[in-house]
Structure 1
């Protein structure tokens, strides 16, 4: 692009885009408290009370956001979900800005905003706090900054790209997929000049400087996130690969697939966007990387919103009435799948597609079942007793609701809960064990176990913790300090 004029961008239609973002935020907040906490949210709130530069399965940003949310808005589902709702509105704004950066006028920007707000991925991550809530914002922001770099050829944008990358790495490591997806594509397809000089290395140094505290923590602790990632691939890799393509369609919306395809064609062949051709291959490359590694299908979704934004300009040149009706239908369907709009008893209709819905049910009732078991302990034994759970969702629920039953802080060997244990060896009294339904081998670590209660979410929805058994055991087969390494698990 040396010597060529910098392509101009249309005026930004801020008002309608901000209206769409605001409507989405309001809808999310109105629905935020209908079911309950998600299992991951319960875990994040406990992690937020153990602030560190890293955790077994994630960098520090999401637990920090959980801590801030609880401190500012309260330890309720609605309070915790103010931040993801705001991030969902920011997703809408960024997708509209992507459409503008790719030459889309005000009608295209409006369509991009509406399309993003109607997509299952934005609806889902805007409803509850997760690592994806900020990760989606980070990917979209990086795509926007990279497009600005490619369009203008101004290499100082590398510093902003580096800072955004470092911040993204403090939340989730998936953003590194953008490097093999886009850098070789820019080298081959151009504009190659943006890769020259000292600005790109300077951007890398900025990214490393911002992410350094977490990288140091990971190195010091033996890179546990790699162990977790390997477990995900080993346990679910085949299922992830089989469902990858269908989930791309469902997590976005089948209604928006033609817009995405038009955007891919436009990014590849439109003369006015030849500077952005790298993004035409970026999404397919990310898909290939996720498929090879056995990662979860949603890992590739953030980059899919770029061709969706690119496809809005050609789509608005055609009649929109029928398309708008289909988009509204798709939005309604996505809302039913991802948001708590159905009665809880009706969730089996969608839980098989999006099991995150069911993971928000029954936690107070599970803790009540543990409370039943605790009530059977003699008062003289309680000072030496321990509550131990199989997974972090159960432990997080007890940490949240256990005080009403007099329960002590729970322990678990799952993910970072293992780092917050073990119990003291002096805690050699009875052990209340929460074990998911079905044999797990967990009771081999304990003696004299008998079932004293069963968890029931009360609405008959099958979840990982429905029918979990509460076992009262007389003790452990070894002191906790020797037993703890064998109780640790990552998935």
Structure 2
């Protein structure tokens, strides 16, 4: 590999990976991560919310390191480290002699999306790894003109689709590149392009089969989300999108990525640089799509994460000296912000209230909260603890003693191969005070309130209800316990 990474930079990447593994072990799991851990304990061809790759990663990590925070996240830091190497090699092959590999990897790792995101296990984690790998295969294709790389790209694109449906934008980008780049149109006559596409569909076929067997539930959910209309104004949603990306990419790197993409457009248009064109089609169409969606609904901050591998290469390869002097400050600021966020999430040295600290809302106080609920369960002689919110039920299953049964309720659980609790069993329903309306469980009787807090600062309050399993209840399942 011609990555342009010197031994000190390789050691820095290794050290960063080890630090991320340490953070993964220390940082409390979030409810969504616990939900994906449940997936890993109930493996299926696909799931209602997303394709199955995150479940496979959590299952493998938990098999190696146990049902712990590190086990859930083990493959994330390792995968991101490997993706960084592939991205650096891609930059060097597209733009030899510019030392773009070193800085593209450094800038990407300094973003909060990639840096802190490498520690958490969500569908975006494997997506970014396989997206970066697919971009690497395209760079090898462009640099070598060897059509066999279409086969590698097809497999990696399929693995990206197994991670998250957003990976369909990979195919859109490639199609636009083949149509717009005169030198690339010859690939339409090469059987390996079509074979690569067939491989992508083959790798993705388990998700298609699962959807066919379950009324196309996942496709309908994600398709409906993409076309949904929000209640806010276009100006508000656009402001949230741009401001959120400036924060998640970190401000300097965000500006560098925008400027680099503009410079890549100029190089492709004026200089007919096919490598720059490849970066443009991997960045600009998806960015425009997110901007268009933000004119009618909220775009979640993590969705545009796929833009940054190609945008960071563009920033490292296509900008002039006046911009390049911002590389070091941008990387330093990004790494400092990432460290600050991780330290606050893990140890909370700053006594911030919930409204000022999203780490408190998502991560704070779960072990002590689970201990308090277990004491309530034993005191009341209840046979299980239940929750309506899928994340709350999952995080309780991860923290409660293995002998305590956790029941989840809601329509989404109908799509899991999990058993139902026995009729007549009594339990405690835990329900956040932030939820509107009456409990979903018929006949639930409120019996008390329990708070979740970190270092004495309240994160959330929950109402406890006495419930009994009976015929006609909403869908109920018993979640797997820690091993």
TM bucket (normalised to shorter chain) is 0.7 to 0.9
Counterpart CA distance in 1 for 2:352 and 2:229 is 24
User: Which residue number in structure 1 is paired with residue 336 of structure 2?
Assistant: 332
Measure how far apart 1:244 and its partner are: 1.4
CA–CA separation in structure 2 for the residues paired with 1:38 and 1:113? 27
Kindly state the Cα deviation for residue 221 of structure 1 after the two structures are TM-superposed.
0.7
Provide closer, same or farther for how the CA distance between residues 78 and 230 of structure 1 changes in structure 2, counting only shifts above 3 A.
Answer: same
Residue number in structure 2 paired with 1:4: none
- The residue aligned with 1:306 is 310
Q: Any unmatched runs of 5+ in structure 1?
A: 1-8
Contact 1:369–1:455 (CA under 8 A) maintained in structure 2: no
Pairwise CA distance, 1:269? 3.0
Indicate how the Cα distance of structure 1 residues 21 and 442 shifts in structure 2: closer, same or farther if over 3 A, else same: farther
Q: Does 1:430 align with 2:426?
A: yes
CA drift of 1:25 comes to: 0.7
Is residue 21–residue 90 contact of structure 1 (8 Å, CA) maintained in 2? no
Tell me the distance in 2 between the aligned counterparts of 1:444 and 1:35: 32
Residues 131-158 of structure 1 show CA distances to partners (whole Å, capped at 9, x for unaligned) of 1111001111112222333344333322
Q: Deviation string for 1:324-362 (max 9, x for gaps)?
A: 245313321233235646742637489758x36641222
1:193 partnered with 2:186: yes
Residue 179, structure 1, aligned to residue 171, structure 2: yes
**Structure 2 partner of 1:288:** 288
Q: Which residue of 2 aligns with 1:154?
A: 146
Q: Which residue of 2 aligns with 1:110?
A: 102
- Alpha-carbon spacing, 1:366–1:350, altered in 2? closer, same or farther (3 Å): closer
Residue 399 in structure 1 maps to residue 397 in structure 2:
yes
In the alignment, which residue of structure 1 is the partner of 2:17? 25
CA contact (8 A) 1:187 1:195 kept: no
Indicate conservation of the 8 Å contact 2:101/2:316, yes or no.
yes
CA contact (8 A) 1:99 1:112 kept: yes
Alpha carbons of 1:102 and 1:340: their partners in 2 closer, same or farther (altered >3 Å)? farther
Contact 2:63–2:71 (8 Å) recurs in 1: no
Shift of 1:215: 1.4
Other-structure match for 2:277: 277
Matched, 1:484 2:474: yes
Check the 8 A contact 1:102/1:310 in 2, yes or no: no
- How much does 1:422 deviate? 6.5
Query: Residue 471 of structure 1: CA displacement?
Result: 1.7
Q: Distance in 2 between matches of 1:350 and 1:88?
A: 30
* Selected match of 1:39 from 31, 36, 55: 31
- Report the more deviating stretch, 357-366 or 133-142: 357-366
From the superposition, tell whether residues 185 and 442 of structure 1 become closer, same or farther in structure 2 (CA, over 3 Å).
farther
For residue 413 of structure 1, report the CA deviation from its aligned partner. 1.8
Are positions 1:222 and 2:215 aligned together?
A: yes
Between the aligned partners of 1:486 and 1:342, the Cα distance in structure 2 is 33
Q: 2:371 aligns with which of 368, 373, 376?
A: 368
TM-score, reference length from structure 2: 0.85
Correspondent of 2:250 among 228, 235, 253:
253
The structure-2 alpha-carbon separation of the partners of 1:451 and 1:236, relative to structure 1 and needing over 3 Å to count, comes to farther
Task: Report if the CA contact (8 A) 2:116-2:342 is conserved.
Answer: yes
Corresponding residue of 1:208: 201
2:125 to 109, 128, 133: 133
In the other structure, the counterpart of 2:77 is 85
Q: 1:388 and 2:391 equivalent? A: no
Whether the 8 Å contact between 2:90 and 2:140 is mirrored in structure 1 is no
SS of residue in 1 equivalent to 2:215? coil
Question: CA separation of 1:91/1:458 partners in 2, compared to 1, >3 Å: closer, same or farther?
Answer: same
1:3 aligns with none
Gaps of 5+ in 2: 478-483
- 2:263 matched to 1:263? no
Segment drifting more, 321-330 vs 93-102: 321-330
Aligned equivalents of 1:231 and 1:314: distance in 2?
A: 38
The answer on 1:469 being equivalent to 2:469 is no
Residue 95 of structure 1 contacts residue 140 of structure 1 at CA under 8 Å; is this kept in 2? Answer: yes
Q: In the alignment, which of 450, 454, 472 is matched to residue 450 of structure 2?
A: 454
Distance 2:370 2:3 in 1: 54
Cα separation, partners in 2 of 1:370 and 1:321, compared to 1, 3 Å: same
**Is this contact kept in 2: 1:101–1:148, CA < 8 A?**
yes
Alignment deviations for residues 356-415 of structure 1 (CA, whole Å, 9 cap, x no partner): 66412222223223223312334xxx5xx44320112221222222227x5223223264
Shift of 1:84: 0.9
Q: 2:366, 2:452 within 8 Å by CA — same for their partners in 1?
A: no
TM-score scaled by structure 1?
Answer: 0.84
277 and 444 in structure 1: CA distance in 2 versus 1, 3 angstrom threshold: closer
Q: Deviations over 1:279-298 (max 9, x none)?
A: 32442211232344554232
Tell me how far apart the structure 1 counterparts of residues 456 and 177 of structure 2 sit (CA, whole Å): 50
Q: How many residues align?
A: 465
1:166 matched residue in structure 2:
158
Question: What is the aligned-residue RMSD (CA, Å)?
Answer: 3.2
